Amino acid sequence: MFNQGGLSLEQAPPISVVLRFFVTASIFGVLLGLFLVADSLDLTASINNKQVIITHVLALGVMASFMLGALFQMLPVIAGVVIKMPTKKAIIVHLLFVVGLLIQLYAFADTSTSLLYFLASAYLGIGLLYALYPMLKELIKIKDHSSSSKGMIFALGSFVLVIFLGIYLLLMLGGYVDGTLFIQVKELHYSFALFGWLSLLIVSVSFQVIEMFYITPKYPIWMSKYLTLKIFVLLLVKSIAIFMGFETELITAFLALLFMTYAGITIHRLYYRKRPTSDATVWFWRLGMGLLILSMFITLVDTIIDINFEIKMLSYLTFIGFALSIVFAMTYKIVPFLTWFHLSNQGYMEAPMMHDIIHPKKAKIQFYIHVAMLTVLAISLFFNYFILNLLSAILVLVSFGWLLYHLIYAMKKYHYTQKHTKKFEW
């Protein structure tokens, strides 16, 4: 889709492959908002493991769904990786993933049925590995790697580790394996999920899209060439240290510094872009990078001095804000483009232009909702008032509802154009 440096658009999958995952992500976001509203109204008292449920709805339901959709779309065009039968694969992965996640959430809430943990690990494990195996296999085969394709190997490699560690944790919770390594595995599970899979994927993709989307100066070579490798190696070293019982503060501090440097350089690059005006997607990137710096700064401080619980939670919140900001930036860039491109390439004369599919003003509104949501969530960390909790939950609901509405609108526009307009003869 994006690469204009030697790779192909023709290998891009049908638009349904991408939208299937994006719509799913938005639906899970809406469900998360509803859950938070119910929680703030004290209607979830009987549910166990609420924090774990919220974390997994966000990490898997929202983030993994978005990223699976983006991977199906971007791997062929950014890295030249051909995924055979993408529609069939996407349907199978989607089905196994959604069923697995729902079972997992129910298992967390119920906790009494061992079989649910086993089923969740089977569905999620098979579904995700079925998607990742061909992607990784083809990525590794590439002879002439770009910074993005190399980084994606580390990101997807991290994701595979996260999945295996997650399977182990689920089987342990179900009583199928003993739990002597629970604490170590849990720490590695979220370290690789946050710093490895999620962050490395964003970093890798940014090396390609920041320069191309926003006509910015290039990233310095030392960064684009080595950053993802350094982060991955640090994560592996951290894993060894955790299992050997060593302190990992120094490694975490290095990781935080690397991410802060990356985010600072990205903001700097965006500042020197050639266009004077900025659309919402640029603001999402700026906000995301700013939040990453804040999150990593708190993480860094935490390795030196003890910080209180609220500040630690602020670090997690800003990290979620970072990841969601980039997801929104990419979605509002990808969806209008793909809708227009597929229709235009199919020869529909009256293919709607990108701003007719999702108007830039709608993306700007998403940005304001997003900022309001993060602000109220941050305030509610420090002032535990009913009204703040309710308002933040409503804003989560509105934010994902707004996105879902525009994704459905884009799909409708796509099908309407196919049905009701004439094809262009070249």
Partner 1 sequence: MNKIFLDAREMEHPEPLQISLSHLQSMSKEQYLYMINVRKPIPLLEIAKEKGFIYFTYQDSREIWHILISKNSEIVLEELLDV
Residue identified by tokens 């793909």 is 338
Q: Interface with partner 1 by CB under 8 A: which range of 1-9, 125-133, 224-232, 391-399?
A: 1-9
Using CB under 8 A as the binding rule, whether residue 353 contacts partner 1 is answered as yes
Q: What are the distances in angstroms from CA 178 to CA 130, 163, 169, 181?
A: 27, 18, 10, 8
CB of 21 to partner 1, least distance (A): 21
Residue 344: HSE in the Cβ half-sphere, 13 Å Cα cutoff:
9
Q: Interface with partner 1 by CB under 8 A: which range of 6-14, 58-66, 192-200, 291-299?
A: 6-14
CB of 410 to partner 1, least distance (A): 15
Using CB under 8 A as the binding rule, whether residue 176 contacts partner 1 is answered as no
Among 87, 113, 345, 375, binds partner 1 (CB under 8 A): 345
Backbone φ and ψ for 249, nearest 5 degrees, come out as -60, -40
Nearer to partner 1, 10 or 42 (CB): 10
Using CB under 8 A as the binding rule, whether residue 66 contacts partner 1 is answered as no
CB of 421 to partner 1, least distance (A): 14
Q: Interface with partner 1 by CB under 8 A: which range of 14-22, 207-215, 221-229, 364-372?
A: 207-215
Using CB under 8 A as the binding rule, whether residue 332 contacts partner 1 is answered as no
Residue 357 in contact with residue 368, Cβ under 8 Å? no
Using CB under 8 A as the binding rule, whether residue 38 contacts partner 1 is answered as no
Residue 72 in contact with residue 135, Cβ under 8 Å? no
Using CB under 8 A as the binding rule, whether residue 344 contacts partner 1 is answered as yes
Using CB under 8 A as the binding rule, whether residue 218 contacts partner 1 is answered as no
Nearer to partner 1, 141 or 274 (CB): 274
Using CB under 8 A as the binding rule, whether residue 424 contacts partner 1 is answered as yes
Query: Residue 63 carries which DSSP code?
Result: I
CB of 147 to partner 1, least distance (A): 15
Using CB under 8 A as the binding rule, whether residue 223 contacts partner 1 is answered as no
Residue 404 in contact with residue 30, Cβ under 8 Å? yes
Q: What are the distances in angstroms from CA 328 to CA 3, 280, 325?
A: 20, 9, 5
Please enumerate, as own/partner, the contacts of 403-409 that have beta carbons within 8 Å and a separation of 24 or more: 403/26, 403/29, 403/328, 403/331, 403/366, 404/23, 404/26, 404/27, 404/29, 404/30, 406/335, 406/358, 406/362, 406/366, 407/19, 407/22, 407/23, 407/26, 407/331, 407/335, 408/23, 409/357, 409/358
Alpha helices, DSSP H only, in 306-421? Answer: 309-345, 354-357, 360-382, 386-420
CB of 347 to partner 1, least distance (A): 9
Among 341, 398, 404, 409, binds partner 1 (CB under 8 A): 341
Rounded CA gap, 292 and 149, in Å? 22
Q: Interface with partner 1 by CB under 8 A: which range of 8-16, 135-143, 244-252, 296-304?
A: 8-16
Among 31, 354, 381, 394, binds partner 1 (CB under 8 A): 354
Nearer to partner 1, 168 or 214 (CB): 214
Count the residues in the chain. Answer: 426
Binding-site ranges for partner 1 (CB under 8 A): 1-10, 212-215, 274-275, 337, 340-341, 344-345, 353-354, 424, 426
